[in-house]
Chains A and B, each alone.
Chain A
Amino acid sequence: MALIPSVSTAKRLYVETMMNVIGRALQAISQVDVAIKKEVNVLPDDFSFQMKVMPNGPSFTVKKKPNGELEFLGSNPEQTPDLSIAFKHLTHAFMVLSFQESTSIAFAHDRMLVDGDISYALRVTRILNRLESFILPKLLAERAVKEYPSSIKLPEKLLHGARIYFQMASNLVTVN
């Protein structure tokens, strides 16, 4: 009998994949969205943010470049990140990344530990919320964020979402 149930392997794979998608999408949205650019601008240059699963689970890191954009660094940060948001367990990450639990409820449920400046953690959460509002179908996005922004109308959502996905694809092509 297998010691690691296949459901755990599937969960881990899903979280790994989603972390990869979100990390790359953060880089893309910082290149195309004015509101996100304003949020990112406040962060210090070379500021790095990591999201991970404790103790040694899936993770991704992004860094703010001097030109104001975020850069996806994959799962191997160059240095200790300035801000880390760590899920206490793989299942908690799975619940958030499969949109069964919003980020704010996950914080309220104490599923995550923040290491770093709390004001930056709030800023990063706002960035993640805006990203999810654009790239997810509205029904899913409403479960992922505390309040779906009423200012985002369908044409803008479709257009902006497409631009983010296109930018992600461009970045992938450029890297490869």
Chain B
Amino acid sequence: MSTDFYEFFCPVKVIAGNAALEHIPFELASLGASKPLIVTDKGVRGAGLVDYVLTACDESELKVVDIFDDVPPDSSKEVVTQIAKLYRKKKCDSIIAIGGGSVIDTSKGVNILVSEGGDDIGAYAGAGNLKRALKPFFVVPTTAGTGSEVTAVAVISDTEKGVKLPFASPFLLPNAAVIDPRMTLTLPAHITAMTAMDAMTHAVEAFTCLAKNPISDAYALAAVRKISENLLNVMDNPKDKAGRLELAQASTMAGIAFSNSMCGMVHSLGHSAGATCHLPHGLCMNLFLPYVLEYNLDNIRPQLEELLIALGGADIYASTPADKRAEKSIELIKHMRDELYKRCKLPRTLKETGKVEKIQLSKIADMTLDDGSIMFNPREVKYEDARAVLDAAWA
């Protein structure tokens, strides 16, 4: 682990708390924008979440030009082109994304096309291909997990070629992330659990992998503390507005942490298992997190010891012998998974998902070695190591 050099970057204005949505009109106006296009999906609109934003804009005499509410669960090139056409036709001047990871990534793609021109988002794929600021872009997350509102990347599927196009540029970052507790109040229990474990994994990997740094550490520790203190309460009291806000903030903080210090093997396994067995990303994080920590244990013992105070609080930290604190941190993460399983049957093992065949594990292990996140894992992962972790996570 080395922190003798690091870079940290997050220019996103975070607008969080009660009545946060009502700040959107002022913030848009301050960027010279007055004709926003809302990008969302049917689920979010059906849950009435877009109405909060419409009301907030209307009360401030800001007219939303149009709403595109048909973003699919996986962002695709075609949808990006379709929305860009709508934006141009309606002469919009800004974008408000309201949704989860797919809506946010789609909107990042739309912003590239409407700012840079053209109809083929594929022309901008890769790292560093954008050279100037894009149109005003606000993100209102409706899940508390992906952290996409503060990451400088997007993934958009090219369905014709059957590949996923990655985009990376600081210009993809939105001007503002608006975190309002109303937006996650109606999130179903299993989505709340999955997305929170996604955020938890972002924070834990940011804190334990090779590119960790003092600033991302601060965000990661705070995120772990907020999730540990609030997740089970929110599961028991879904309408707990304050708890929802804590989880939403934790997700954004974990996003800031991992976008500056990268993730490790949990994400590599998760990307591979997700692609092979079509498992949701947050679920994969929940499946693999403790087993990867056990695998990395000898290399990350001091970090796991430090995490205990955020995971368990001062009393547990003080009452645990110093040489057992790292193991205790892993035990607490396992305990949290057990509690989530009790409340919403969130699978803890590959077998419990009912969607994975043991024969698929060797393919997942192979793919894991070629996933970008593996570079930042503290241990050098070989095929046998990936396979052993998968076997541990099997049942």
Contact = CB atoms under 8 A, between A and B. Distances in A.
Interface of A: 104-105, 107-110, 113-115, 118-119, 122-123, 125-126, 129, 145-147
A122 B126 contact: no
Contacts of B128: 113
A122 B265 CA distance: 14
B391 interface: no
B343 to A, nearest CB: 37
A105 B377 CA distance: 10
Contact of A122 (B7, B209, B369): B369
Contacts of B209: 108
B166 to A, nearest CB: 8
24 contacts: A104-B376, A104-B380, A105-B2, A105-B210, A107-B210, A108-B2, A108-B209, A108-B210, A108-B211, A109-B2, A109-B211, A110-B211, A113-B128, A114-B127, A115-B126, A115-B127, A118-B372, A119-B370, A122-B370, A122-B372, A122-B375, A123-B370, A126-B369, A147-B379
Nearest to A114: B127
B74 to A, nearest CB: 20
Interface string B290-302: 0000000000000
Contacts of A118: 166, 370, 372
B6 interface: yes
Interface in B351-395: 369-372, 374-376, 379-380
A147 B369 contact: no
B210 A104 contact: yes
A115 B6 CA distance: 21
Given A108-B2, A108-B211, A119 B371 contact: yes
Interface in B176-216: 209-211
A114 B127 CA distance: 8
B126 to A, nearest CB: 7
B6 A109 contact: yes
Contacts of A123: 370
B157 to A, nearest CB: 17
Given A113-B127, A115-B127, A107 B376 contact: yes
A126 to B, nearest CB: 8
Contacts of A126: 369
Question: By DSSP majority rule, is chain A's interface helix, strand, loop, or mixed?
Answer: helix
A108 B262 contact: yes
Interface in B27-72: none
B149 to A, nearest CB: 22
Contacts of B126: 115
Nearest to A125: B375
Contacts of A122: 369-372, 374-375
Contacts of B372: 118-119, 122
Contact of B380 (A105, A110, A114, A145): A145
Interface in B194-241: 209-211
A145 B379 CA distance: 11
B379 A108 contact: no
A111 to B, nearest CB: 8
Nearest to B4: A109
Interface in B112-127: 126-127
Given A107-B375, A108-B209, A109-B5, 15 more contacts: A105-B2, A108-B2, A108-B210, A108-B376, A113-B128, A114-B127, A115-B126, A118-B166, A118-B372, A119-B370, A122-B371, A122-B374, A125-B375, A146-B380, A147-B379
Contacts of A107: 210, 375-376
A146 B2 CA distance: 12
Interface string B1-35: 01001110000000000000000000000000000
A14 to B, nearest CB: 21
B319 to A, nearest CB: 35
A91 to B, nearest CB: 12
Given A104-B210, A107-B375, A119-B371, A147 B380 contact: yes
A169 B256 CA distance: 50
The 9 closest A-B pairs by CB, nearest first: A119-B370, A147-B380, A108-B211, A108-B210, A146-B380, A118-B372, A109-B5, A107-B375, A105-B2
Nearest to A118: B372
Contacts of A113: 127-128
B379 A146 contact: yes
B375 A104 contact: yes
Contacts of B380: 104, 129, 145-147
Contacts of A147: 379-380
A88 to B, nearest CB: 11
Contacts of B374: 122
Nearest to B212: A108
B369 to A, nearest CB: 7
A145 B380 CA distance: 9
B307 to A, nearest CB: 19
Contacts of A115: 126-127
